[in-house]
Amino acid sequence: MTISMNDEGFKQFRDFIYEKSGIFIPDNKKYFLENRLGRRVQEKNLKGYEDYLYNLKYDSDRRELQCLFDLITTNETFFFREPQQFDVFGGELLGRISAENTNSGRKDIKIWSAASSTGEEPYTLSMVLLEKPELSGFKKEIYASDISESVLASARAGIYGSYAIRNIPATYLKKYFTDSNQQYTLSPAVKSLVRFSKVNLIEERDVRMIRGVDIIFCRNVLIYFDDKAKQKVVSHLYDALRPGGYLFVGTSESLHNVTRAFRPVVINKVIIYQKV
Ligand SMILES: C[S@@+](CC[C@H](N)C(=O)[O-])C[C@H]1O[C@@H](n2cnc3c(N)ncnc32)[C@H](O)[C@@H]1O
C-alpha cells in the first residue's frame, strides 16, 4: 500500500531533494515520490513523510540521506549504450588525445565517467582502451563516480545479468567475461583500469578532487536536473577537464542554452563538447 503525500509535503520534499542533488521533480510527479519513498517511511515506522523529512534534515551521519539518493535515482544503463559514441571515442578521439598528450610530455590518459551507475559505462571504456595496442605505453586511468552508494557497490562487484550485456560484441564478451548460469563476471584486466568513488555532481567540494581529465562521459543524467542545476554541474565538469578536453553527454541531451564555455565538435555525426 502506498502512503499518500499532501501537496505541501510534496513541495518540501521536492525542494529538499533538489537542494541536495540537483534532481528536479516536477509538480505532476508526486506519485514518483510516493512510490519510491512510501516503503521507507513504513520500514522506519514513521508517522508519515513529514517525519521522514525531519529525519533526513537532522540525520547527523548522512546515512539516511544516502538511502534517499539510492531510492530516488534512476540507474538504467547497459554496456555499449549509444555505441556510436564509443566508436568515436576509440577511433579519432583517443588518437587526438594520445598525440596531444605525447606532445606535451604526458604518457597518460585520464577519463571520467561522471554518473557511472552500476559500472557498465566505465567498463565499456576500459574494454575499448584495452583493445588499443598503440596505447600500451600510456598509463590509462578511468575515474568512475555516482551519487548512489548502492550502484557503486554493484559496480565494484562487476557481475552482470543478461540485460546489461546484451549489446556487447561477441568477441568482447568472450574475451572479457566468464559466464556462469547467465551471470557474467568481468575480468580483472577490465576492472583494473577503473576506480570508483562517490561524487555528487552538484557539490563543488566533491568534484574539486578531480582535475586535469582528458575526456568526460556524463551521459543520461543532465535530464534529471533543471537549467540552473545543469549550469552548475556543467561548470564543475568544465573545471575538471584539462584545456582542450572533451565532454560527451547523452545523445538525447545537449548543452545548448546551458553554457558557451564549450565548442561543439562533430565527428562521424556524433556531437562532443570541447573545453575552449
Ligand atoms: C540513467 S543513469 C546513467 C548511467 C550511464 N551514464 C549511462 O548513460 O548509461 C543516471 C545516473 O546518474 C546518477 N546521478 C543522479 N544525480 C546525480 C548527482 N547529483 N551526482 C552524481 N550522480 C547522479 C544516478 O544515481 C544514476 O546512476
The answer to whether the Cα torsion of 230, 236, 245, 78 is positive or negative is negative
Q: How far is the CA of 180 from the centre of ligand 1 (A)?
A: 29
Q: How far is CA 40 from CA 35, 48, 152, 222, 224, in A?
A: 10, 10, 21, 26, 22
Ligand 1 site residues, Cβ closer than 6 angstroms: 21-23, 73-77, 81, 115, 117, 121, 146-148, 151, 199-202, 219-221, 224, 250
Mutational test site, ligand 1, from 147, 150, 165, 218, max ligand atoms within 8 Å of CB: 147
Q: Which residue spans of the chain are classified as CATH 1.10.155.10? A: 7-72
Which residue has the CA at smallest separation from atom 26 of ligand 1? 75
Closest atom of ligand 1 to 81 CA is 9
* Beta-strand runs (E) in 87-221: 108-113, 139-146, 159-160, 177-180, 183-186, 194-198, 213-218
Q: What is the C-alpha separation between 147 and 21, in angstroms, rounded?
A: 8
pLDDT tens track, the chain, 276 positions: 689 999 999 999 999 999 999 999 999 999 999 999 999 999 999 999 999 999 999 988 889 999 999 999 999 999 999 999 999 999 999 999 999 999 999 999 999 999 999 999 999 999 999 999 999 999 999 999 999 999 999 999 999 999 999 999 999 999 999 999 999 999 999 999 999 999 999 999 999 999 999 999 999 999 999 999 999 999 999 999 999 999 999 999 999 999 999 999 999 999 999 999
The long-range contacts involving 262-267, CB below 8 angstroms and separated by at least 24 positions, are: 262/234, 262/238, 267/88, 267/92, 267/93
Q: The whole model's pTM is what?
A: 0.97
> Of 47, 44, 43, 45, which is closest to residue 5 (Cα–Cα)?
47
Q: Which of 150, 190, 152 is nearest to 172 (CA)?
A: 190
CA 147 to ligand 1 centroid distance, Å: 7
Q: Strand pairing of 159-160 and 183-186?
A: antiparallel
The cell for 242 is 584539462
Residue corresponding to grid cell 534532481: 23
251 CA to middle of ligand 1, Å?
Answer: 15
With a CB cutoff of 8 Å and minimum separation 6, the contacts of 265 are: 246, 271, 272, 273, 274
Q: What is the fold of 83-275? A: Rossmann fold (3.40.50)
Ligand 1 center from residue 115 Cα (angstroms): 4
Q: Where does the chain hold its CATH 3.40.50.150 domain(s)?
A: 83-275
Nearest CA, atom 24, ligand 1: 73
Q: How far is the CA of 176 from the centre of ligand 1 (A)?
A: 25
Q: Using CA atoms, how far apart are residues 237 and 216, in angstroms rounded to an integer?
A: 8
CATH assignment of 7-72? 1.10.155.10
Euclidean distance between CA atoms 158 and 141, whole angstroms: 17
- Cα torsion through 117, 122, 127, 130, rounded to 10: -160
CB count in 10 Å sphere of residue 228? 11
Q: How far is the CA of 179 from the centre of ligand 1 (A)?
A: 27
Which helix (H) or strand (E) segment holds residue 156: the answer is helix 149-157
Q: Compute, in angstroms, the gap from residue 199 CA to the centroid of ligand 1.
A: 10
Nearest CA to ligand 1 atom 9: 77
How, if at all, do strands 139-146 and 108-113 pair? parallel
